[in-house]
C-alpha cells in the first residue's frame, strides 16, 4: 500500500460530510429541477435593480483583482452603522466570518457553547479546529438564553454563539433580553451575535449599535433581504482591536471585486430593501395561512422563512418533506430533537407559493399513508 502525507489529527478524525446538501446537488441526483425553490432562505425577489445595473456596468472590470482592503464597502458600512471604519470587517458572507472568529478564539479542546440545532456551519468550523461543542437545547422553540449562560459559566467557555432572529425556527428575542444576556456574560467570553435575519426582524429585536464591548462581535449579511446570496458578502462589527485581529487571519482577496461593488450599491438602496422586507412579511403570512389551511401549525417568525409544526413526530415531518421534494418543491427541516417535528419553508415568489399550496395537502396525505 502506498504511503500518503499525513493529515493533522483533527482533520483526519472528521467525517467526510458538509453541513448542507444544496438544491443543485439534489437536482443533479433527481435528474430534473425543482419547480419551487423555497428551502435555502434565499430572496427570490433578487437584488435591487440598481445593483443589477451596477454589476452589469462593472462586469468588464473583473479582470482586476479586488481591493484587498474592501475600502469603499467598509466606508459605506461604517457610515450606515454610525461607527468608524476600524470597527468593521468584510468577509465571504457570515460563513466566512464565522470561520475566522472561531480560529481567533478556539483551538483543540476549547469548549464552545451553542444551541442544539442552531446554524450547523458554525459547528462545522468549530470541529475544524478541534473545538468541543457544548450544545444547549432550545426552550419553547427559542434559543435558551439562560441555558446558554449557564453552560458558559459551567464550562468556562471563551466563545458562545447566538443567532437573533434564529435559524431554523425563525424565533427571536427582544433587544432588552439580548442586552441582559450580554451584561451577564463573563468579560472573557466572546459572544458571536449572528444577525443574518436582522433586516426582516422587528426593530425592537436589534440592540443599538455599540462597539465598546471587546467581547461582542455582531455579524450581518447581504445574502438574505438584500438578495445577494450568490456573491458571498457579509460583515462583522465590534471593538476596533478585535476587528483588527480579523485582519491577521482573513483571506484578503476573498471578497471579489463584484461582491464589493454589489454590496455597496445594495446598501445605498434602502428604499428597495424596505420593499423586499414588506414582501417577505406578506410571504410569511401566505405560508402561515397555507399551513393552517392544512391543519398544521406555523410558528411566529421574524425571518424570511416559516417553521411549520407538523403536529406529530420527526419521522412524520421527514415524510412530509420527502413527499414535497418528490413533488418538485425544495424545502428543508430542522433535525435536532423536538425541533425536528417541523418543516421549514422559505418565502418565495407567488408562483412558487402557489405550487406549495397545491402540493402540501398531497404530501401530508402521502406521509399519513406511509
Residues 153-198: tens digit of each pLDDT: 999 999 999 999 999 999 999 999 999 999 999 999 999 999 999 9
Residues 238-291: tens digit of each pLDDT: 999 999 999 999 999 999 999 999 999 999 999 999 999 999 999 999 999 999
In the block, cell 474592501 appears at: 70
Which structural domains are found in the chain, ordered by start? 20-46+271-369 (3.90.1150.10), 49-268 (3.40.640.10)
Name the percent of the chain lying above pLDDT 90: 94
Report how far apart the first and last C-alpha atoms of the chain are (Å, whole number).
47
Residue 1 has a pLDDT of 61
In the block, cell 457579509 appears at: 234
- H or E element that contains 52: helix 49-58
Residue 14 has a pLDDT of 86
At residue 149, does pLDDT exceed 90? yes
As a whole number of angstroms, the distance between CA 114 and CA 197 comes to 18
Residues 198-215: tens digit of each pLDDT: 999 999 999 999 999 999
Residue 16 has a pLDDT of 82
Residue 370 has a pLDDT of 74
Of how many residues is the chain composed?
Answer: 370
Classify the C-alpha dihedral 15-168-90-192 as positive or negative. Answer: negative
DSSP 143-200: --HHHHHHHHHHHT-SEEEEESS-TTT-----HHHHHHHHHHS-TTSEEEEE-TTGGG
Task: Note the pTM of the prediction, 2 decimals.
Answer: 0.95
Confidence of residue 15 (pLDDT cuts 50, 70, 90): confident
Confidence of residue 337 (pLDDT cuts 50, 70, 90): very high
Q: Is 161 left (phi over 0), alpha (psi -120 to 50) or beta?
A: beta
| Cα 31 versus chain centre, distance | 28
Q: Is the peptide bond before 305 cis (omega within 30 degrees of 0)?
A: no
Amino acid at each position: 500500500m502506498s504511503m500518503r502525507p499525513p493529515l493533522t489529527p483533527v482533520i483526519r478524525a472528521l467525517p467526510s460530510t458538509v453541513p448542507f446538501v444544496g438544491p443543485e446537488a439534489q437536482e443533479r441526483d433527481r435528474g430534473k429541477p425543482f419547480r419551487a425553490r423555497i428551502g435555502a432562505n434565499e430572496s427570490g425577489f433578487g437584488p435591487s435593480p440598481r445593483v443589477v445595473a451596477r454589476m452589469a456596468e462593472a462586469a468588464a472590470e473583473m479582470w482586476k483583482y479586488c481591493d484587498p482592503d474592501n475600502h469603499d464597502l467598509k466606508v459605506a458600512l461604517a457610515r450606515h452603522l454610525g461607527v468608524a471604519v476600524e470597527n468593521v470587517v468584510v468577509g465571504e458572507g457570515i460563513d466566512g466570518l464565522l470561520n475566522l472568529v472561531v480560529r481567533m478564539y478556539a483551538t483543540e479542546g476549547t469548549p464552545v457553547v451553542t444551541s442544539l440545532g442552531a446554524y450547523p456551519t458554525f459547528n462545522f468550523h468549530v470541529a475544524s479546529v478541534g473545538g468541543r461543542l457544548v450544545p444547549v437545547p432550545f426552550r419553547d422553540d427559542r434559543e435558551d438564553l439562560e441555558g446558554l449562560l449557564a453552560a458558559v459559566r459551567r464550562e468556562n467557555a471563551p466563545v458562545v454563539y447566538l443567532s437573533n432572529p434564529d435559524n431554523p425556527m425563525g424565533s427571536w428575542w427582544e433587544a432588552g433580553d439580548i442586552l441582559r444576556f450580554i451584561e451577564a456574560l463573563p468579560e472573557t467570553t466572546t459572544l458571536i451575535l449572528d444577525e443574518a435575519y436582522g433586516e426582516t426582524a422587528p426593530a425592537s429585536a436589534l440592540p443599538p449599535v455599540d462597539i465598546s464591548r471587546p467581547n461582542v462581535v455582531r455579524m450581518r449579511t447581504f445574502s438574505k433581504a438584500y438578495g445577494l446570496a450568490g456573491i458571498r458578502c457579509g460583515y462583522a462589527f465590534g471593538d476596533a482591536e478585535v476587528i483588527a485581529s480579523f485582519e491577521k487571519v482573513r483571506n484578503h482577496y476573498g471578497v471579489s471585486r463584484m461582491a464589493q461593488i454589489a454590496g455597496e450599491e445594495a446598501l445605498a438602496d434602502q428604499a428597495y430593501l424596505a420593499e423586499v422586507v414588506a414582501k417577505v412579511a406578506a410571504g410569511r403570512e401566505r405560508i402561515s395561512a397555507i399551513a393552517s389551511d392544512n391543519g398544521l401549525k406555523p410558528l411566529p417568525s421574524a425571518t424570511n422563512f416559516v417553521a411549520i409544526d407538523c403536529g406529530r413526530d420527526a419521522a412524520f415531518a421527514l415524510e412530509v418533506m420527502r413527499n414535497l421534494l418528490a413533488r418538485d418543491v425544495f424545502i428543508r427541516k430542522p433535525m435536532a430533537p423536538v425541533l425536528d417535528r417541523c418543516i421549514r419553508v422559505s418565502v418565495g415568489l407567488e408562483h412558487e407559493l402557489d405550487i406549495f399550496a397545491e402540493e402540501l395537502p398531497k404530501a401530508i396525505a402521502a406521509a399519513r399513508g406511509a
